[in-house]
Amino acid sequence: MTRRRLVTALLVLAVLALVTLPLALGGGEAGYAGTDGQATAAIEESGYTPWFESVFSPSSAEVESGLFALQAAIGGGVLGYVLGRLRGRRAAPRDAGRTEDAGP
């Protein structure tokens, strides 16, 4: 076994250990909640009442997760389009100069 393959195998084993050991040692139960839930609970305990109700409330967590993924995909598409256009604008003057000089 070459040194390169040995290092690769050890890195793969280390990543697998980092993933499986916390699951095995923790017993698979999570005794914590996300920060959104904790913040909401703290705000509600303080007696705060919202000014208005939400216009749209997803029916389940799966729908909410899907809408978030859709929002992220649309944002990524818009960002990619804008960056592509900016790169194209920068490259356009260089490409135009090459085609004019080439001749028939």
| Range 77-89 average pLDDT | 95
pLDDT at 81 over 60: yes
C-beta separation of 28 from 37 below 8 A = no
d(CA 8, CA 14): 10
Average pLDDT (34-52) is 83
The pLDDT-based confidence of 85 (bands split at 50, 70, 90) is: very high
The model carries a pTM of 0.45
Q: How confident is the model at residue 39 (pLDDT cuts 50, 70, 90)?
A: confident
